[in-house]
Structure 1
Amino acid sequence: MDKKIAIIAVVAIVIVVAAAAFVLMNNNNSDDDDKTVGEKNKAEFTKVWNEKYKDGDVLFPARLLILGNADLDDDLDNDDINAINKLIKNGYTYSKDFMADANYDGVIDSKDIDYLKKLMDYNNYKGIAYYFNCDFKIASYNMANPVKTSNILTQTLEMLCVIAPESVIAVDDRCANSQISGANPQGTYWKEFASVLDYSKLGSVGSHKSPNSERYLEVAKQYGGGYLTAVMNASDAQSTGYLEQQLEGTNVQIIRCPSWERGGVDNGMLLLGFLFHKYDRAVEWVTWHDSYYDDIMDKVSKLTESQKKKVAVGVLGDTDVAIAQQIELNYTTSAEWQGLKRMGVIDVGGDYLAKTTGVAGYGAWSQTISKESFVTMCTEAGGLDYYIGTVPGPYNVAPVNESKPTVETYMSTMSSFLEEYCEGTTLQVIGWQYSSGPNDLLYYATLANVLYGWDYDLETIVNEGLEWMGVYGDGEYEWTFDKIKANTLLPYDI
């Protein structure tokens, strides 16, 4: 009897131990499964959004691109907590609902709510924020680091001047001048910024066409106390995707921020504002931008087919080429083409390029065609109502830059060509700096007035935009609508 009891007791102990071991193993497997699910979800996200990136008509998935913004609007609040709870309860498709993954572990669960609550205290948050960048990839930013910044091209520097001009410690050669040691200035773009930035105290990050990690590290050490945030455009713009890997583990961070990509300057401003603890400033700017842009888009949405104009957009001359001898049509990755598409036009230029060059999707800033091909394009379309020609104005043309042609010179060759071979086509010239970045409202408003006869106050839009940048005024390097008008060839009758 005692032996039976002993045997039963031993068996019971074995069963209990086995059960405990099973539970422990099952919990471990659960953790492994979570990791596996997270990895699978991230892989599926990458696959889906890599494909979406190739389509130039796909826009950014949310207004504020910080992960945790589950309801896809322009802020982080209790609505996002409610949205995440709903996904946890009802299930989710990660490639669609990934913005709810605040801690970016590939799984949407209660941990994201905990992470989101910390992010919601955006003025004081000093941790890692994950965000969706203009490459359609998820990146991270350490918000504990001091904000010391540099730009790529004028658009990102304009954004920095609006959000945090005091943060700028270096500029690229496009925006540099002779005061900056080691720089190779490209024209007079610097004159746009000279009243808000002290060029005598700035470093140089070199050419926007071939940035290198060593230069960034040197600038961070010399001008930023070891820290630097390089605000850049998409990695495929100049094939700069190598920078993140080379700078990994350093205090130099890369933000690939929408500045003209897919018309997402508002996304970019909110993103920079949040990451730099300047979110309230960004919201103020976006509210101003929306007050004009939303009204324009509302009118565009009501256009009838008979009201839509046949239009193409191209480069009359740029920083590197004084006067274009062939026709260089803007295409899918350019702000000029993207903005034009939003204006309800019949896209003669884009349709012709897609048909004749084999280049479609998202990946070409411009395509050059012969003048004979341009005539063919117009003929096949049954005529062209407007040709929008861009020039490097208003800050890198004569008289601001005496070594460059005047706007009238840029337009004269094209104007004569259109009169002879494309009768009935109106040429409208605009400075390309006002077709993208935080000044893009002038492009939309000019097109609205020229194409459709609407009556937007261009002078007010320009002057208010200059005020946001801190460069409005009558000083030597300050600007007003009247001072830049001749260098941009805005419609003189408006």
Structure 2
Amino acid sequence: MKKLIVVNTQRVLDICMGVGISDRVVATNDYANQYATNIDSQYMYKAFASLPSVGDRKTPDLESIAKSDADAIYAGSEKYYLTNVDSGATSYAGKTILRLASWENGGYANGALMIGFFTDADEGAEKFVRWMDSVESKVGSELSKISDKSSTSFLNVSSATYFGAQADGVATTLTKIGATNIGNTIITDTSKVGGSVPTYAEDINKHNDLDLIIYTPYMYLNYSDEQVKEKYNTFYSSLSTGKISALDAVKNQDIVMINYELPFCLVYAIAAKILFPDIDVDVDGMIKEYIDDYTDVESYTYIPNHFYYIPGSA
């Protein structure tokens, strides 16, 4: 059994759960650890709550890594993770360095397949990835029936001051739907992951005809409906007093929330159903299947508002 140190985001914890190797993780970093220990996110990450942290994900404590009995370090791109080890190194302190995708360009499934291969959990990885493929295939088949998807447009924001584009995992996923991602028309460098709303406000405001703003924050499984609405209202309040408050989408509150924590295939399915409501896609059934079969969540009663929120719908 190969043991792992996660020097990456909490998406790697999601991948480990999906592949069925939560018990292989022996240490995380401060960024991932905060989700495992925070009372709001413990429903999803409780299995990792007691693990030690090796510090910052970009420059972790190398002495702590060296002392660990792990076999490998799941680090990700040398631009963001484990930057205090030579980018060309394949190991550190006898531990294999795995620079696998987790969110970059939506490469979640590739990361799952590779970590499954390395940990001899190929069967679990294949099952997880086949499920993701089935979700995307079903949604894609429905979307193919729509002839002019590009005439529908959206802006993806992770906060009132930042929008996603190009190589950002969520923005990449949303672009696959076929609707026009305004962020990509503003940030044209495909290596970038987004930009500042205030900085690009003039460019964003040129797209007053955009149909929807898709807000993708973390939404927690212990939240009441009122807490979900409060999260939405707090965001809306900031957006409506900011640099793009004059947009019709803001004034008309054409804004939805989708849980950032979800695998990209489910973000794809939910957003597709919101943008094109006539497609025959059971997003609630897909989300339930994910929670039941590919997470460590226990004793949870499904509430749609924990995964997507459309004002006025609940």
Task: Tell me the TM-score normalized by structure 2.
Answer: 0.83
Alpha carbons of 1:247 and 1:342: their partners in 2 closer, same or farther (altered >3 Å)?
Answer: closer
Pair 1:150-2:2 in alignment: no
**What is the CA–CA distance in structure 2 between the aligned matches of 1:419 and 1:247, rounded to whole Å?**
45
SS at structure 2 position matched to 1:242: coil
CA positional deviation for 1:245: 5.7
Give the equivalent residue in structure 2 for 1:123.
none
Alpha carbons of 1:150 and 1:490: their partners in 2 closer, same or farther (altered >3 Å)?
Answer: farther
One-letter amino acid matched to 1:441 = C
Structure 2 counterpart of 1:370, from 159, 180, 198: 198
Matches within 5 A, 1:14-413: 146-151=1-6, 152-163=8-19, 164-176=21-33, 188-194=40-46, 196-197=47-48, 199-200=49-50, 202-218=51-67, 220=68, 224=69, 227-238=70-81, 240=83, 242=85, 248=91, 250-305=93-148, 308-316=151-159, 324=160, 327-354=161-188, 360-362=189-191, 364-370=192-198, 373-374=200-201, 376-379=203-206, 381=207, 383-394=209-220, 406-413=231-238
**What is the CA–CA distance in structure 2 between the aligned matches of 1:239 and 1:270, rounded to whole Å?**
21
Say if 2:183 and 2:194, in contact at 8 Å, map to a contact too: no
Structure 2 counterpart of 1:462, from 262, 271, 287: 287
CA positional deviation for 1:344: 0.3
SS at structure 2 position matched to 1:274: helix
CA positional deviation for 1:301: 4.2
Give the equivalent residue in structure 2 for 1:451.
275
Alpha carbons of 1:448 and 1:246: their partners in 2 closer, same or farther (altered >3 Å)?
Answer: closer
Alpha carbons of 1:313 and 1:236: their partners in 2 closer, same or farther (altered >3 Å)?
Answer: same
CA positional deviation for 1:307: 5.8
Say if 1:244 and 1:254, in contact at 8 Å, map to a contact too: no
SS at structure 1 position matched to 2:97: strand
Alpha carbons of 1:307 and 1:334: their partners in 2 closer, same or farther (altered >3 Å)?
Answer: closer
SS at structure 2 position matched to 1:343: coil
**What is the CA–CA distance in structure 2 between the aligned matches of 1:390 and 1:256, rounded to whole Å?**
26
CA positional deviation for 1:347: 2.3
Between the two structures, name the one with larger relative contact order (CA 8 Å, sep ≥ 6): 2
Alpha carbons of 1:274 and 1:419: their partners in 2 closer, same or farther (altered >3 Å)?
Answer: closer
RMSD: 3.2
Q: Out of 419-428 and 306-315, give the one that drifted further.
A: 419-428
Say if 1:375 and 1:421, in contact at 8 Å, map to a contact too: no
| Unaligned residue ranges in structure 2 (runs of 5+) | none
Give the equivalent residue in structure 1 for 2:266.
442
The alignment covers a number of residue pairs equal to: 304
Query: Quick one: percent identity of the two aligned structures?
Result: 18
Give the equivalent residue in structure 2 for 1:423.
248
**What is the CA–CA distance in structure 1 between the aligned matches of 2:147 and 2:269, rounded to whole Å?**
19
**What is the CA–CA distance in structure 1 between the aligned matches of 2:60 and 2:92, rounded to whole Å?**
18
| Unaligned residue ranges in structure 1 (runs of 5+) | 1-145, 317-323, 355-359
Give the equivalent residue in structure 2 for 1:321.
none
Alpha carbons of 1:341 and 1:165: their partners in 2 closer, same or farther (altered >3 Å)?
Answer: same
One-letter amino acid matched to 1:208 = R
Structure holding more helix per residue: 1
